Amino acid sequence: MSHTFQEKKKSNMERGMDMKDEEKLYKRNGILYPTIMSPPENLDALKDLEAREDDIMLVAYPKCGCNWMVGVLRKIMTTCGYTLPERPRLIEFHSPEVQKIEAEMPSPRFMASHLHPDDIPVSFKTNKTKILVVFRNPKDTAVSYYHFMNNNPVLPKTESWDKFFSDFMSGEVCWGSYFDHALAWEKHVDDPNVLIVTYEELKENLLEGVQKIANFFNFPLTEEQVKGIAGESTFSAMQLSSKTSLGKYTNVFLRKGEVGDWRNHFTESQSKQMDEEFKKKLSGTKLGAKLKYDQYCQ
Ligand SMILES: Nc1ncnc2c1ncn2[C@@H]1O[C@H](COP(=O)(O)OS(=O)(=O)O)[C@@H](OP(=O)(O)O)[C@H]1O
C-alpha cells in the first residue's frame, strides 16, 4: 500500500510513541542521528548520491528555518511550472529505495539536508550544485530545538531546559554542534555556488528574501509572483495552510516563528555562556557578522 507524505509523517510520529526514548537516537562517527528518520542504511546509501549541476539544494542546521525554505522553494518551483514529489526533501530521510527513485527523477530535483557540510555527498561540490544555506541566531535555534525535542515523538524528551542547553552547547544533539556547522560554512561564505541567508533577515524582509533566492537559482519570477509567494510563506499563512495536512502536529513544526523567544528561556549565566562561545568561535567571521549577534542575541 502506498502512503501519502503526510500519512508517512504521521505514522513515523506514531512509531516514535511506541519506542523507548533511549532507542530514539544513535551515534555515527561521534554525531547523534534520529533512528526513525535517518537510520544508518539511509546515511550509508548517500555515498551513491550523484548530485547534478542543476539540482536545487537547501542546507540548514536543525531548527534554523529549513521547512520554511522548503515551503518557499516548493512555491517558487511550482510557480515556474515544475512538479515535485510529495515526500520529505531531506536526503538523509530517504530510504535506499527512495534514493534510487530520486536518482531517476528529472531535473531540476529539489533536495535538502541537515548534514554537516563535510558529510554532504562530495558530488555536490564536484558537480558545482548551487546550495542555499539558512542559518539562525544560536539562542533562538537552541530554544526551538528544545521544544522540538519535547513535542516530536520521534525524538527523546529532554530532562529539562538546563540539561538541553548544556547538550546543545556541547554538540550532543542530532546532527551535532551548531558551532561546528557554522565554522564549516564560514569557509564557503564567498563561494559563488553558495548563498547564505539568515532566519532573521527573512523575518525582516521576506519579499527581498524570496527574490534573492529565486535570482540565485535563476528562477524567473515576476514581481507579482514574488509578492504572492512571500505572502503565502509568512508564519501565519504557513501555519494555516499546514493545518489540513499536519493536523494536531502543525504546532510541532510551526511553533512560534519569532525572533527573540530565547529571552523567555535563557538564564543570565546561560546567555553569557553563549555570548562567550559565539565570541570565541565566530567573532570576526563573515558568517558571524551576517548573524548580527549583537542585534538579535543581546
Ligand atoms: N513561515 C515561517 N516563518 C517563520 N518561522 C517559521 C516558518 N515556518 C517554520 N518556522 C519556524 O522555523 C523553526 C523550525 O525550523 P526547521 O524547519 O529548520 O526545523 S527542522 O529541524 O527542519 O525540523 C520553528 O521555529 P520556532 O517557532 O522558534 O520553534 C518554526 O516555527
Report the distance separating Cα 52 and Cα 70, nearest Å: 19
Which residue among 175, 253, 264, 265 has the greatest number of ligand 1 atoms within 8 angstroms of its CB, and so is best to mutate? 253
> Residue 274 maps to which CATH number?
3.40.50.300
The parent domain of residue 103 ranges over 5-297
Question: Measured in angstroms, how far is the CA atom of residue 12 from the centroid of ligand 1?
Answer: 19
Ligand 1 center–CA 64 separation, angstroms: 7
Whether residue 250 has its Cβ less than 6 Å from ligand 1: no
Domain count across the chain: 1
Query: Would you write out the chain's pLDDT as a tens digit for each of its 298 residues?
Result: 345 666 776 688 889 999 999 999 999 999 999 999 999 999 999 999 999 999 999 999 999 999 999 999 999 999 999 999 988 899 999 999 999 999 999 999 999 999 999 999 999 999 999 999 999 999 999 999 999 999 999 999 999 999 999 999 999 999 999 999 999 999 999 999 999 999 999 999 999 999 999 999 999 999 999 999 999 999 999 999 998 888 888 999 999 999 999 999 999 999 999 999 999 999 999 999 999 999 999 9
pTM: 0.96
Alpha helices in 171-266 (DSSP H): 178-186, 199-204, 206-216, 223-232, 235-246, 250-253
Taking phi first (over 0 means left), then psi (-120 to 50 degrees means alpha), and beta for anything else, what does residue 94 get? beta
**How far is Cα 12 from Cα 132, in angstroms, rounded to an integer?**
27
**Pairing state between β 110-113 and 130-135:** unpaired
Cell of 262: 530565547
